[in-house]
Amino acid sequence: MMISDLDASDDTFVVLQPDENGPEWFASVAVLDEGGYEIVRRDTSRDEHEVTTAAGINEIARDLTVWSAARDFPGRPTRPVTSGETRVKVNMAAWQGS
């Protein structure tokens, strides 16, 4: 399911979360009746809960890609964090449905 596949009748939301029972974090994107999207980000391990709205799927895809890259994934090797620049490689076409 891509953000661009969402509509107001059948596919009204999509959820991004790790594939595990009781994940510590998730993000969802839902179609709003008045247009645009509601974005929910929740991470219980960091005590984060944020609800925002946006109109553009490019902005939403970019923000959620960067946000989810900073989350803990089961089985992902830990790596040291340096004080330098952090780079995130993003496949924007996958999120946008292109």
Asked if pLDDT for residue 90 goes beyond 50, the answer is: no
Entry pTM:
0.69
Please, which residues bridge with residue 28 across strands? 15, 40
DSSP state, residue 52: E
Q: How far is CA 78 from CA 22, 32, 41, 54, 65, in A?
A: 21, 37, 22, 32, 18
Q: What percent of the chain has pLDDT over 90?
A: 30
What is the pLDDT of the chain when averaged over all its residues?
A: 77
Residue pLDDT, tens place only, 40-50 = 999 998 899 99
DSSP state, residue 59: H
Check residues 13 and 89 and name the one with the higher pLDDT. Answer: 13
